[in-house]
Amino acid sequence: MDTSFLAFLAISAVVIATPGPDTALTIRNTMAGGRPAGLATALGVSVGQLVWAIATSLGLVAILLASEPVFHALRLIGAAYLIYLGVQSLRSAFTGASASSAGQRGHAAHALSPGKAFIQGVVNDLANPKMAVFFAGVLPQFASQGRGMLSHLILLGLVFSLLTFVWLALYASVIASAGTLLRSSRVRRSIDGIAGMALVGMGVRVATSER
């Protein structure tokens, strides 16, 4: 394990541990569907990152970044998706005020499914233009030049996505383990509200930020 790989791990750890749209979505979906939905979200995010890594190794991300209209469109799509998820969470926070304790059985019936959570995780990551910038700007610096560079880029992307899955899965497990406390009406509504505001805020930031 050479120093360049250790440096890559260090940078990856900082990026992954910094709260962002993927973290907010994992918390939101764990609250909406329990541990299975949280883990499915983490897996979806990781798959999305692996897609970015493969696209980077094939040069597709460089083409994306070189096209201002395409990058701008991706940024707006990503921002709109984050705001959409945030508004859903905020709506849950407000409408939860009318939910009775007897309605918890209804919540189980309408809980977020792992399949839907997985798709949201994939879309949330692929619609984030910051991931394109990160993979295009960071991965090539740690990959061997010349022959084998493509496989090295994919390997680094796989390592990054696995680290992300472990981190987000830990988030989901801790939140799910809190169980009864977080499922109480008041606490749940508070978390939905915080996650919703975070997602909307991140969506606005993505829409207004430069590369």
CA 97/CA 106 separation, integer angstroms:
15
Which structure tokens are listed for 170? 């830990």
CA 90/CA 138 separation, integer angstroms:
35
Task: Look at the block and give the residue holding tokens 């984030």.
Answer: 128
The tens digit of pLDDT for each residue in 48-97 reads 999 998 988 888 887 777 777 877 787 788 788 878 888 887 887 777 64
For 179, list phi and psi in degrees, rounded to 5: 55, -115
The tens digit of pLDDT for each residue in 143-160 reads 776 556 778 888 999 999
Whole-model pTM: value is: 0.77
Length of the chain: 211
Which pLDDT score, from 0 to 100, does residue 105 have? Answer: 44
